[in-house]
Amino acid sequence: MVDVILGLQWGDEGKGKIVDYFAPEYDVIARFQGGPNAGHTLYIDKKKMVLHQIPSGIFHENKINLIGNGVVLDPVTLKRECESVAGLGVDYKKNLFISERAHLILPTHRALDKASETAKGNEKIGSTLKGISPAYMDKTGRNGLRVGDLLDKSFITQYIRLRLKHQKLLENFSFTEDISDWEEEFFAALEFLKELQIVNGEYFINDKIQQGKKILAEGAQGSMLDVDFGTFPFVTSSSTISAGVCTGLGIAPQKIKEVLGVTKAYCTRVGSGPFPTELNDEAGESLRQIGNEFGSTTGRPRRCGWIDLVALQFACMINGVTQLVMTKADVMDSLDTLQVCTSYNVNGQEQSQIPFQMSRIKIEPVYKAFDGWKTDITGLKTFADLPEKMKIYIGYLDKTLGVPIKYISNGPGSDQIIMAS
């Protein structure tokens, strides 16, 4: 059977830590979408590690980690990351597998991402500049190069042809930066990639399922960044929701069992786009400082705000979430009052659904206030130990979302997690 862990907000919910926590219960940990725009933070023996391309199960011995066909792969980032996990004793040559159908991110994709963002000016998406959108455009535009193509004699010819297309586009953007260094690194990384275990991902994973192995699919980004259901156009370019597991790994829908949705106890977003509950004041700054809300991939300050139950209910619906994991509850330990957005007010009308176009309308969040628990929860181990006021907060979310909060993360450490009773 296949279980899924994915983000319900705008990314950075703490998926990496949660996948690492559950990895011992599984045989295979598989990324199904996204690319090096992801930054998943784990603490391995108290040492901080941020993974961009490699699944978050890599630090567990004898666990298979698969980069699925739905991922876009930057060989340069992958090589760097393999070298850094090897420094912590990981045998990536044994435990890491890559689908031959995963699309490659070329140096010109990164250049196109940058050129396109610059051309958008004030309307820029705030992309991570990792080449994600151009790489997915080449996938759906049927131009892209895949990992499996590397092993073909015609690879260089195909590469040159695509590079030429990209160059014409870059000229239209008046992009003049020299990318020859990027290209040199890219070709060195391709040689490295060729030596890794490149597999037919869909047979590989279905064989494992047939053998009764347990699969954990790891999402990147968050549901509100999904290309179909997110706050378009301020989204990423892949299917970040549970349906993406099927297309991103080659798994049939009925194989999926549990969908664990990860949400912060508040909310953050990095990059541009609508964020109804954003706090542009001291309260937001305080969440940023206490929660250390700075991007794991780009270092940008994350925008912070209150938890948004309209968005969370929507995310639970489109993902079929069966269990919730709440992270960073400890960040709110010192607050006197917390707010929960229960509906939106749009032009004087209260609504509980996500509007079609969130960026062109003014949304005023309707809040319900809760007393803060004013207790340091970072050392607590059981649900019974949690302060009563926190249990009230959790109970309200459970009831409103109609999905139980099964786990509460009370610190970044790998052992800081409490199972709800």
Show which residues are catalytic: 12, 40
Please classify residue 222 by burial: count the beta carbons closer than 10 Å to its beta carbon, then call 0-12 exposed, 13-18 middle and 19+ buried: buried
What is the chain's Cα-based Rg?
21
**Total residues contacting ligand IMO (rule CB under 6 A)?**
24
In the bound complex, what is the minimum distance in angstroms from residue 235's beta carbon to ligand GDP?
16
Site map (CB under 5 A) of Mg ion, residues 274-313, x = contact: ----------------------x-----------------
User: Which residue, 77 or 133, is less far from ligand IMO as judged by CB?
Assistant: 133
Q: Which residues pair with 31 in a beta bridge?
A: 67, 218
Among the listed ranges 36-44, 65-73, 153-161, 328-336, the one in contact with ligand IMO (CB under 6 A) is 36-44
In degrees and rounded to multiples of 5, residue 187 shows phi and psi of -70, -35
As given in the structure block, the two tokens for residue 31 are 């990324």
User: Which residue, 116 or 238, is less far from ligand GDP as judged by CB?
Assistant: 238
CB atoms within 10 A of CB 272: 19
Binding site partner of 128, from ligand IMO, Mg ion, ligand GDP, none, Cβ cut-off 5-8 A by kind: ligand IMO
User: Which residue, 24 or 253, is less far from ligand GDP as judged by CB?
Assistant: 24
User: Which residue, 39 or 68, is less far from Mg ion as judged by CB?
Assistant: 39
Q: Which residues ranging from 356 to 385 are in contact with ligand GDP (CB under 6 A)?
A: none
Choice from 327, 341, 342, 397 touching ligand GDP (CB under 6 A): 327
**Binding status of residue 68 toward ligand IMO by CB under 6 A:** no
In the bound complex, what is the minimum distance in angstroms from residue 158's beta carbon to ligand GDP?
33
**Binding status of residue 15 toward ligand GDP by CB under 6 A:** yes
**Binding status of residue 16 toward ligand GDP by CB under 6 A:** yes
Strand order in the sheet with 2-7: 197-199, 96-99, 64-67, 28-31, 215-218, 2-7, 256-264, 323-327, 405-409, 417-419
In the bound complex, what is the minimum distance in angstroms from residue 3's beta carbon to ligand IMO?
18
**Binding status of residue 13 toward ligand GDP by CB under 6 A:** yes
**Binding status of residue 34 toward ligand GDP by CB under 6 A:** no
Choice from 67, 96, 225, 227 touching ligand IMO (CB under 6 A): 225
In the bound complex, what is the minimum distance in angstroms from residue 411's beta carbon to Mg ion?
17
Positive or negative: CA dihedral 339, 344, 350, 353: negative
Binding site partner of 410, from ligand GDP, Mg ion, ligand IMO, none, Cβ cut-off 5-8 A by kind: ligand GDP
Choice from 315, 330, 339, 377 touching ligand GDP (CB under 6 A): 330
Query: In this structure, are strands 417-419 and 405-409 parallel, antiparallel, or unpaired?
Result: antiparallel
With tokens 């199960």, the residue in question is: 57
Q: Which residues ranging from 254 to 293 are in contact with ligand GDP (CB under 6 A)?
A: 291-292
**Binding status of residue 55 toward Mg ion by CB under 5 A:** no
Choice from 10, 14, 96, 276 touching ligand GDP (CB under 6 A): 14
Binding site partner of 372, from ligand IMO, Mg ion, ligand GDP, none, Cβ cut-off 5-8 A by kind: none
Under a CB-based contact definition with an 8 Å cutoff, are residues 10 and 275 in contact?
yes
In the bound complex, what is the minimum distance in angstroms from residue 168's beta carbon to ligand GDP?
35
CB neighbours of 407 closer than 8 A, spacing ≥ 6? 18, 323, 324, 325, 326, 417, 418, 419, 420
Q: Which residues pair with 66 in a beta bridge?
A: 30, 97
In degrees and rounded to multiples of 5, residue 408 shows phi and psi of -125, 120
CB atoms within 10 A of CB 149: 16
In the bound complex, what is the minimum distance in angstroms from residue 231's beta carbon to ligand GDP?
18
User: Which residue, 272 or 322, is less far from ligand IMO as judged by CB?
Assistant: 272
**Binding status of residue 138 toward ligand IMO by CB under 6 A:** no
What dihedral do alpha carbons 23, 6, 106, 273 form, nearest 10°?
-150
Choice from 2, 3, 20, 37 touching ligand IMO (CB under 6 A): 37
Give the interface with ligand IMO as residue ranges (CB under 6 A).
7, 10-12, 37-40, 125-128, 130, 132-133, 220-222, 225, 236-237, 270-271, 296
Give the interface with ligand GDP as residue ranges (CB under 6 A).
7, 11-17, 39-41, 291-292, 296, 327-328, 330-331, 409-412
